[in-house]
Amino acid sequence: MSIKTEATIEDLYHLPDNFKAEIVNEKLVLMSPTGFLPGRAGGEIYRSLRDYECLKKSGYALSLLAFG
């Protein structure tokens, strides 16, 4: 007899820090880090928003790391 276990939201909460995963077809699938180029692109977007914030003296530019 086999017992089928399905991944749950609770499994996602129990991942170590800095690990990312999603549930696909009822299985927990770990996500690979995105790497250099997407990180650099995100940094450029943040810098552009920060420059605009300073120019307009209004609003706040936040990086995605602020929400980590």
Question: Per residue in 52-67, pLDDT tens?
Answer: 999 999 999 988 665 5
Contact of 41 with 26, CB cutoff 8 Å: no
pLDDT at 17: 82
The amino acid that residue 41 corresponds to is: A
pTM for this predicted structure: 0.50
pLDDT of residue 67: 58
pLDDT score, position 3:
63
**Within the chain, which residues score under 50 in pLDDT?**
none
- The pLDDT assigned to 29 comes to 92
| Contacts for 46 with CB less than 8 Å, ≥ 6 apart | 61, 62, 63
